[in-house]
Structure 1
Amino acid sequence: MDKIIRIGTRSSELALWQANTVAEQLAHFGHKTEIVKIDSLGDIVLDKPLYELGITGVFTKNLDVALLNEEIDIAVHSSKDVPTKLPEGIVQAAYLKRGDFNDVLVIKEDENFFTKNSALIATGSLRRKAQWLYRYPHHKITGLRGNVITRLQKLQDNDWDGAIFATAGLKRLKLLPEKEKHIKLDWMIPAPAQGAVMIVALEKNEELIEICKEINHEETATCVKIERDFLQTLEGGCTAPIGALAMIFEDEIKFKGALFSPDGKHKMEFYKEVAVNNATDLGKFGANYILERGGKKLMREVNDIEKSTLIYSTKSLSHDQTAILNSKIGVTSSDFITIRNNRLKPVIVKKPIKNVLFTSQNAVEALLNNFSPMELDFENIYCVGRRTKRLIEKRIGKVKHVESYGEKLANFLVDNLEEKEITFFCGNIRRDELPTKLTENNIKVNEVECYQTQLTPRKIEEKFKAILFYSPSGIESYLKENKTNDIVAFCIGETTASEAKKHFKNVKVSKLSTVESVLNSVNEYFNETIKES
């Protein structure tokens, strides 16, 4: 293939390691490549809504959309993060040779805590938590989120005895501590496909799929399929602590799969050795073996424990985000809005602009989708939200002033804006309070609509005790198909909460304007209910 193969990846260090490894292996066979970082949905133009295409996982969603839009040719994923059912039109193209599949305990001080009555171990994985408590029931588990570097730093900053990581990630980033500071957990059954790197492509791109086969590692592909079959058959849509590992020794496959209760008190395990050519349905067979011998009852218990309190998020949540929630809180999530960037004329930023205003990250990303930072000559930048501020200062320049919500920023601008004119980069759906307040106080507002917010409403069941909102548009979308009833509305900030109070009797506002803060407020609110259940 003469064409340069565009390799899509997220921009984390580990994701880039994976993508660059794929690039190196393709180069070995004479193929030219380029790395394309995809961290936002960009300009979505699809024939069907994301959920109808099977695109639901936050880890893979952005890359799937970019692939379907043909902005990239292949996407590279950590296989354990990929849903067992791939989106419509996307297929597995290859696996790299699997890395170390084991988990590892990184120790804070030394191993002496094993001799004590209790210990505090950090992990954000339900599987790791369940297996650790099964082996060490007198220990306590605390949550751990973030990328690998962040989690290692948190271990140093907190009073924990150790934290559990995937060995492959630490090795690939050259962050595995010295021998005295880590313990290989060879007794812990890894997550299905842990340590494996998956390459996906469009099903219709047959030539590219053939090229990917040149770097495909057959043994890894065989083993990972068995593990993912086990997961898909056993899970049935319910999040549960599941481990699976298949290994090939000469002409024989050894497979072990297990299901645990979240509290680590119960375990069901399957083990079998078969000839490689007889292993086609080994994963499904193992899952059904467990289900027929008490696994269904355990899965129901897992479901009851996980979902004794049910909530619904109007924005898709990542694995790390759902791990924030108490294990007895079950969450379903999907996107009630999608964003499409507009194409902007160069004349908009041709001249320097004295004052500019942003009220969302979407507006910042939409602007940068049209222009490079070098083209943006802004003297004074004002914005709403700390995360918007961080994005602006990372990509464009210094923010002169930030407020937590629009009304407060409007008041500040009325009192402090010297030149009574400001350019407002916004979406098609916005609240009128801020520009209206500015206009009423003789400040000229030049609005630039740089993205479109598209409502994607859907009907949800009445079993949920709370609904999580992240924007007034999300509330509007929700109300198109659902009633408010007595459900609790958790909101990301005052602007969203103000809209929610028009429709809901019980509205809770997060302390910070972050998804994580919303989830923490859910934990706090339902804390007593969970204790009683």
Structure 2
Amino acid sequence: MSKVIRIGTRDSELALWQANAVKNALEKLGHKTELIPVKSQGDLVLDKPLYEFGITGIFTKTLDVAMITDQIDIAVHSMKDVPTALPKGIVEAAILKRANTQDILVHKGTDFLNEEGIVATGSLRRQAQWLHKYPHHEIVDLRGNVNTRLQKLKDNNWNGAIFAAAGLERINLKPDSFIDLKWMIPAPAQGAMLVVAKEEDDFCRNALSALNHEATAICVHIEREFLRVLEGGCTAPIGALATIEGEIIHFKAALFSLDGQQRIGVEKEIPISEHESFGRACAKEVLEAGGAELMREIKQAVNNTKG
């Protein structure tokens, strides 16, 4: 008799949507499942920027503990929230087909773009890229789940706030007043969902292997390898996006200074057959072009902020 697969998830509307997508896919394959929502520290503490926690994986840690202590069998994450190094004993079991990778600006009118304005985001990556393009704007911190952030935008005198398009689209909250930020490089693995399981759990790993989308997996692994070599995590403004057209992988990535004034980027394409270690090679190119020094400056600035 097959066991019931206990699916751990954060309890926000978006996280539950993602977990239910995995639940429905597994049940279509004939598996029995149960959802187990868990609240993370990243959801509970909303008055500090993420980097001030001093750890990566603030949204995934609670589910990691629940899995290691056998309260859940698998966990569903927005892959961009997952640290590049998983905890010992936990492995990637499936990467689902990627959704929209773009960032969007939800706004109250776009007249402010060429004037003074206030834009909200809790992401150093989005902050740096926005300031790179609009250095005359003020950035304010924005935390909470998607619903909370949309409400905060309504309640404050901000001109706009930056969101991942995929999150708003998944739960039908994308408003009419938005613009696509096609010039903004997304977070590594943005738009992708990751399901993790215990390394020793052959049953769940086999069940989830049917949900894995190979093209998405190739792309996000390149992006995350780029991030890992730069040692970014949540504490550096790093964007990376790999896409596949035919047999060619296109890759665009950049490291920014916190104020957005410095940008060290890379843009390349290679055959899919040569994708192994491609992210690493691109990261080394950025490091050698001044990225190593810039990363030291960023870490020092972030540590000073935490202190």
Instruction: Work out whether the TM-score is over 0.5.
Output: yes
Counterpart for residue 519 of structure 1:
none
Q: What is the Cα deviation at residue 77 of structure 1?
A: 0.7
Counterpart Cα distance in 1 of 2:234 and 2:33: 38
Structure 2 residue ranges without an equivalent (≥5): 42-54
Counterpart for residue 27 of structure 1:
27
Matched, 1:287 2:287: no
Matched, 1:263 2:259: yes
Counterpart for residue 103 of structure 1:
103
3-state SS, counterpart of residue 246 of structure 1: strand
3-state SS, counterpart of residue 303 of structure 1: helix
* Residue identity matched to 2:185: I
Counterpart for residue 112 of structure 2:
113
3-state SS, counterpart of residue 59 of structure 2: helix
**Change beyond 3 A, Cα 1:260–1:101:** same
Counterpart Cα distance in 2 of 1:4 and 1:141: 46
Q: What is the Cα deviation at residue 93 of structure 1?
A: 0.2
Contact 1:238 1:303 in 2 (8 A): no
Q: What is the Cα deviation at residue 36 of structure 1?
A: 1.1
Which protein has the larger Cα radius of gyration, Structure 1 or Structure 2? 1
3-state SS, counterpart of residue 230 of structure 1: helix
Counterpart Cα distance in 2 of 1:238 and 1:122: 17
Q: Say what the alpha-carbon RMSD is for the aligned residues.
A: 1.7
Matched, 1:67 2:63: no
The 5 A counterparts of 1:344-423 are none
3-state SS, counterpart of residue 221 of structure 2: helix
The 5 A counterparts of 1:157-176 are 157-176=155-174
**Change beyond 3 A, Cα 1:59–1:279:** same
Q: Identify which of 191, 212, 215 aligns with 1:216.
A: 212
Counterpart for residue 4 of structure 1:
4
* Residue identity matched to 1:124: G
Counterpart Cα distance in 2 of 1:238 and 1:106: 23
3-state SS, counterpart of residue 244 of structure 2: strand
Q: What is the Cα deviation at residue 13 of structure 1?
A: 0.7
* Residue identity matched to 1:121: V
Q: Deviations over 1:47-94 (max 9, x none)?
A: xxxxxxxx9632111111111122211111111111100000000000
Contact 2:9 2:77 in 1 (8 A): yes
Q: Deviations over 1:442-490 (max 9, x none)?
A: xxxxxxxxxxxxxxxxxxxxxxxx6xxxxxxxxxxxxxxxxxxxxxxxx
Q: What is the Cα deviation at residue 305 of structure 1?
A: 2.5
Q: What is the Cα deviation at residue 159 of structure 1?
A: 1.1
Counterpart for residue 14 of structure 1:
14
Q: What is the Cα deviation at residue 237 of structure 1?
A: 6.9
Counterpart for residue 135 of structure 1:
133
Counterpart for residue 239 of structure 2:
243
Counterpart Cα distance in 2 of 1:161 and 1:89: 45
Counterpart Cα distance in 1 of 2:24 and 2:11: 17
Q: Deviations over 1:414-455 (max 9, x none)?
A: xxxxxxxxxxxxxxxxxxxxxxxxxxxxxxxxxxxxxxxxxx
Q: Deviations over 1:185-231 (max 9, x none)?
A: 01100011111110000101123212111011111111110111000
* Residue identity matched to 2:184: M
Contact 1:39 1:62 in 2 (8 A): yes
* Residue identity matched to 2:242: A
3-state SS, counterpart of residue 169 of structure 2: helix
Contact 2:84 2:233 in 1 (8 A): no
Q: Identify which of 182, 187, 194 aligns with 2:190.
A: 194
Counterpart Cα distance in 1 of 2:295 and 2:5: 43
**Change beyond 3 A, Cα 1:182–1:56:** closer
3-state SS, counterpart of residue 101 of structure 1: coil
Counterpart Cα distance in 2 of 1:35 and 1:64: 15
Counterpart for residue 79 of structure 1:
79
Counterpart Cα distance in 2 of 1:128 and 1:35: 32
3-state SS, counterpart of residue 59 of structure 1: coil
Q: What is the Cα deviation at residue 111 of structure 1?
A: 1.4
3-state SS, counterpart of residue 60 of structure 2: helix
Counterpart for residue 202 of structure 2:
206
Q: What is the Cα deviation at residue 114 of structure 1?
A: 2.1
Q: Alignment identity in percent?
A: 56
Counterpart for residue 319 of structure 1:
none
Counterpart Cα distance in 2 of 1:16 and 1:238: 23
Counterpart Cα distance in 1 of 2:234 and 2:140: 22
Q: What is the Cα deviation at residue 262 of structure 1?
A: 0.3
Contact 1:104 1:167 in 2 (8 A): yes
Counterpart Cα distance in 2 of 1:40 and 1:140: 29
* Residue identity matched to 1:59: F
* Residue identity matched to 2:279: G
Q: Identify which of 241, 260, 269 aligns with 1:273.
A: 269
* Residue identity matched to 1:83: P
Counterpart Cα distance in 2 of 1:126 and 1:238: 8
Counterpart Cα distance in 2 of 1:111 and 1:254: 31
**TM-score of the aligned structures, taking structure 2 as reference length:** 0.92
Counterpart Cα distance in 1 of 2:234 and 2:64: 23
Matched, 1:156 2:157: no
Counterpart for residue 296 of structure 1:
292
Counterpart Cα distance in 1 of 2:169 and 2:101: 11
Structure 1 residue ranges without an equivalent (≥5): 42-54, 310-328, 332-465, 467-533
* Residue identity matched to 1:125: S
Contact 2:232 2:238 in 1 (8 A): no
Q: What is the Cα deviation at residue 238 of structure 1?
A: 8.1
Q: Identify which of 186, 203, 226 aligns with 2:222.
A: 226
Contact 2:78 2:192 in 1 (8 A): yes
Aligned residue pair count? 294
Contact 2:40 2:60 in 1 (8 A): no
Counterpart Cα distance in 2 of 1:236 and 1:35: 32
Counterpart Cα distance in 2 of 1:260 and 1:73: 38
**TM-score of the aligned structures, taking structure 1 as reference length:** 0.54
